[in-house]
Chains A and B, each alone.
Chain A
Amino acid sequence: MGNKQTTFTEEQLEAYQVTGVTRQLAPHLVPLDYTNNPDIKVPATLIVTMPELKENPFRDRIVETFSEDGQGNMSFTDFVDMFSALCEAAPRELKTIYAFKIYDFNRDSFICKEDLKKTLNKLTKGELTPEEVTLVCDKAVEEADLDGDGKLSFADFENMISKAPDFLR
């Protein structure tokens, strides 16, 4: 009774499966025994080399978003968090929320044009000319910005995303 984790919840089980993955990434950091909730963090540089993330243009942002310290160093629960949000069964609303956070580079709760520019450059590997980037960002804001403040709030973002046919992730 006194023990905190006598029962395994569904997510915990999932989590314990994932432990193996984290161990593969950083065997020297992650212990086998997780019963005492050790406070261990895997650095971002290791996380982004995972096969699931290593080709993703937003990998750094993803890791930063889900990590507790905002630097990308992830504790075990952060790690589980990340994959439960990225997994297929995760509900759309949750994904929307996290997607917004990922795209919100400067963490001001708005996707402003700077964020859009960064997103675009990551998506196209900087192949577009600056004029084109500006054009695209302006157009995107114009399309999705419903309250006319020149940046996308979460409401705008959700409204836009909810109509997107292929927002699956």
Chain B
Amino acid sequence: MPPKRKNHLVIDIENVGMDVDADFDSESEDATRRRSRNRKAKPQRKARQVSDEEEEDEDEDKSPKRRGQRRRTKSRGDEDEDEDNGQQSVANKRSKASRRRGAKNSRKEQSDEEDESDKESKQKRGRAVSKKSKEEQNNEKKEKDKGKNGDNKNNKKKKAEKNSSPVSSDDSDEESEEMSEGELEALKEQVEEKKKLIATIRNKPWRMQKRLSVLKEAQDFVERFEGALGKGKGRRLYAFKVMMTKKLIKFNRDFENFKTACIPWEMKIKEVESHFGSSVASYFIFLRWMYGLNLILFGFMFGLVVMPEVLMGLPYGSIPRKTVPRSDQATEMDLSVLLDFGGYCQYSVLFYGYYNSDRTIGVLKFRLPLSYLLTSVGIFGYSLLVVIRMMARNADVGGDGGDDADFTFSWKMFTSWDYLIGNPETADNKYASITTSFKESIVDEQENQKDENIHLRRFCRVSANVLILCSLGGSGYLIYYVVKRSQDFAKMDPSSLSWFEKNEVEFVMSLLGLVCPPLFESIAELEDYHPRIALKWQLGRIFALFLGNLYTFLFALFDEVNGKLEEELSIKNSSEWALSQYYANYSAFYNTTVVPPPNVSPADVIRGPCWETAVGQEFVKLTVSDVEVTFLTILIGDFVRAFIVRFLNYCWCWDLEAGFPSYGEFDISGNVLGLVFNQGMIWMGAFYAPGLIGINVLRLLTSMYFQCWAVMACNVPHERVFKASKSNNFYMGLLLLVLFLSILPVIYTIMTMPPSFDCGPFSGQQKMYDVVMETINQDLPAFMGTIFSYASNPGLIMPAVLLMVLAIYYLNTVSKAYQQANADLKKKMKTARDDEKNRRNNKDSTNQMMKDLEELLPNKSLLPPPFEEDTPSETVSVKNSKQTKTKPGPTGKGVNVEKEVSLAAPNPRRPVTQAPVQRAGPPMNARGAHAEPGRGRGRGGPPRR
């Protein structure tokens, strides 16, 4: 290695070092620490130099050691200097190393020179302290004289600990071994340091130019010395590690993308959300969830009931219940009949009546009737489970995230943009979504800030509720009245009734459904709730209204069922009578007791009305008409309206878009309730029409696409876009209520109503659930039967119920305790945050108590020692001088350096170094003669900026 090149390198690197030094402002904490160490070290060294001369003759046997010591201290000073200058150290060391090989003397000179420069920069301070430290040093010496051995040990320890640069290695021969060990140690340390630098060079906010040179420097160093230490594969390993991390990150990202891509309609919903806010999106998420639920229910129904019957049961036309009766055969395939689910549809696998009552079917001996009953009940059980689990999970989500509310706006502002977006369309969506989310938060915030006449608002709310209760009561009475009247009409001759009188109930119901929701909405204006809460009220109110709808529907249905049951009874009696007549005639005619069954085509057999199928038909018809109405409403109410508004606006006398018709808003409450009630219909109807779930799956599927399209094409966002509550538990609550309401009638029919005698899987049984009893008695081992009989014993059921009640009570208590703990923790967090804020804030304005307390205390007790107080401010000044020195520095890039400074300024550690400056006031007061005893800590401080 030619020395010339080395010098060049040194200069080069020193330039870098200067730059870096400017940078070290950013890490001024470290710098401060180093400097303070430096300061401590220097006087010691000087003092030693002096005292050495004094005491040299006193103990000559120690002199070599002391010389070594002196060198060590010197070198330590060098090291401090090196550390101080960061990268420069490397240069110095290396240069020293090279020179070391060349000539020892030159090294000494060099270090002396450095000493000189060091003194120049910090002369003042050094002198100020040097006297004091000299005294200290003398004391130390005396102590040393007392215990040589201990001192020796001490020295060695010192060597091991802070000995340092390789410079010190070429000392007196007697110490060479120790030193080399120490050198090795130090070298290792440095190499580690360099490695760390290489690893973390990405973290440094430097310009690339500088980073490159520093990195190269460090790598050179590591390369050169690592070989000596016998581990050169570090770099390769590092590269491999980096590569693997990159790959892992990429894989994880791809996997996340894949997972997101697997969520159905996620893109569509996000798109809607970005334009219409999370409230509208919550409807679509709810819709998607319902679709998933229905798909699973469909899987159960299809796999356990429909498919076995289709595959293994008797084919169509083999028995009367699977054949269209003769009288209907002419019109069985007419479209109008099929659309009413009569004709062929009525005797298809869609409905209850088609299923045969054979105990087992096919080669698999599949127990279809049992399966039918258990699946129907299982659907309820599963739905209940899922809904409740969902509610619990949602409630869980609301629990944590106490810190979320703290930085809503800041986070939205600084972290909402996705920097990966490169597609203009996506970018537009993102803009829309950010704007929407800001609007949502603004609405929330405005709601918080609202403060007005509380009495007026209360009065308004009470009166609004009274009005709505009145209208609900009125519509309830209207429904009741109309239903009563229709019962009267039903007894009269149908031909004498007008069209209106026949369809009065439906007419009134749809009229109420049309008029009431807007009425409620306009009344809700009075209340002036936050839109999210208003939506909940609206949902609840319309739900109450729709309950009337449900009530009339069920009422009519049970009337029909009762009629059918009577009819069925008579038909059953007559057909039995006819059959017995046939047997009597046959035996009388042929004079034999072996009577073959009557040879009639299955289409001609007299059959009952099969009330289950009729009920199923009602539900299917209702569902289908609901779909039609929904779609038509969207088409006419939204699409045509939007179309007209958009295109007639060119030739109209007022602004249609801004004026009266305008575009429609997405009706969240109506749609959600429609979905919920529709699902109620499905749950109720699934027992009577297994195919209904399939129809519903189709409906939800189409509605997903159709409504997504419609909302994007024809609707405008709400005037006050609001954030949906994090958990859509309110929807779930409504769903649970509807589920419960729809379970009741089905379970009632299963438990009490006699099934039709000639259709369905339960024909021939007294009660539907008898099929379970039959299975238990015949197919299961006898002990199971006894177990069931015990289990159904009231003596066992009562304690079980009691136990459950106790469990519920216990869990309720526990959850309340957790809630309390949660609230406490949240409060604590908030207090901690406020504390932090106060601590950083001006103290006297925020914490009167502390101030009063401090006034009572003696002034010095709480203050930090003056020395430490002084140092940072000096450091700052030194730093500043350095900065100014470096600006026109050898890099020649004035702008660059200035930028570096501005870059370094916002470093997080800056306030830490400055904090003592802010506090500089009080300690001065404390020490100074003019200290006022009553002066508070915060008040005395200088202006903070």
Give the interface of A toward B (CB within 8 A). Answer: 1-2, 7, 9-12, 15, 51-52, 54-58, 68-70, 77-78, 80-81, 84, 86, 88-91, 93-94, 97-101, 103-104, 107, 109, 116, 119-120, 123-125, 127-128, 132, 135-136, 139-140, 143-144, 146-149, 153-155, 157-158, 160-161, 163-167, 169
Contacts and interface: CB of A to CB of B under 8 A. Distances in A.
Interface string B838-857: 00111000000000000000
B423 to A, nearest CB: 7
A116 B417 contact: no
Contact of B415 (A58, A77, A90, A161): A161
B407 A97 contact: no
B419 interface: yes
B414 interface: yes
6 contacts: A9-B219, A10-B239, A55-B427, A101-B906, A127-B435, A148-B840
Nearest to A58: B417
Contact of A97 (B422, B903, B945): B903
A2 to B, nearest CB: 8
Nearest to B1: A1
Contacts of A116: 413
B895 interface: yes
Contact of A109 (B414, B445, B446, B906): B906
A116 B407 CA distance: 14
A140 B410 contact: yes
Kindly list the 4 A-B residue pairs having the minimum CB-CB distance in the complex, ordered from nearest. A154-B906, A55-B427, A77-B208, A140-B409
Given A128-B438, A135-B445, A146-B840, A11 B208 contact: yes
Contacts of B945: 149
B836 interface: yes
Contacts of A57: 417, 431
A35 B219 CA distance: 20
A127 B717 CA distance: 14
Nearest to A91: B203
Contact of A161 (B414, B421, B423, B837): B414
Q: Chain B: interface residue count, which band? A: 35 or more
A30 to B, nearest CB: 16
B97 interface: no
Interface in B847-905: 893, 895-896, 899, 902-903, 905
Nearest to A54: B422
Question: Looking at chain B's contact residues, is the secondary structure mostly helix, strand, loop, or mixed?
Answer: helix
B413 A120 contact: yes
A148 B841 contact: yes
Contact of B895 (A51, A69, A153): A69
B417 A123 contact: yes
B409 A109 contact: no
Given A58-B417, A97-B903, A11 B249 contact: no
B906 A153 contact: yes
Interface in B928-945: 944-945
Given A91-B203, A94-B202, A9 B906 contact: no
A55 B905 CA distance: 30
A89 B434 CA distance: 26
Contacts of A158: 908
Contact of A55 (B211, B403, B422, B842): B422
Interface string B58-77: 00000000000000000000
A80 B896 CA distance: 16
Interface string B178-208: 0000000000000000000000101111011
A88 B406 contact: no
B442 interface: yes
Given A68-B896, A101-B903, A116-B413, A77 B207 contact: yes
Contacts of A148: 837, 840-842
B208 A154 contact: no
B161 to A, nearest CB: 31
A124 B434 CA distance: 6
Contacts of A143: 406-410
A135 B906 contact: no
A135 B836 CA distance: 24
A56 B421 contact: yes
Nearest to B246: A89
Contact of B212 (A12, A54, A90, A155): A12
Interface in B243-261: 245-246, 249
A125 B907 CA distance: 31
A101 B907 CA distance: 11
B210 to A, nearest CB: 9
Given A81-B208, A94-B203, A136-B442, A109 B896 contact: no
Given A77-B209, A143-B409, 14 more contacts: A10-B242, A11-B212, A12-B212, A15-B208, A56-B421, A84-B208, A89-B202, A91-B203, A94-B203, A109-B905, A140-B409, A143-B407, A146-B836, A146-B841
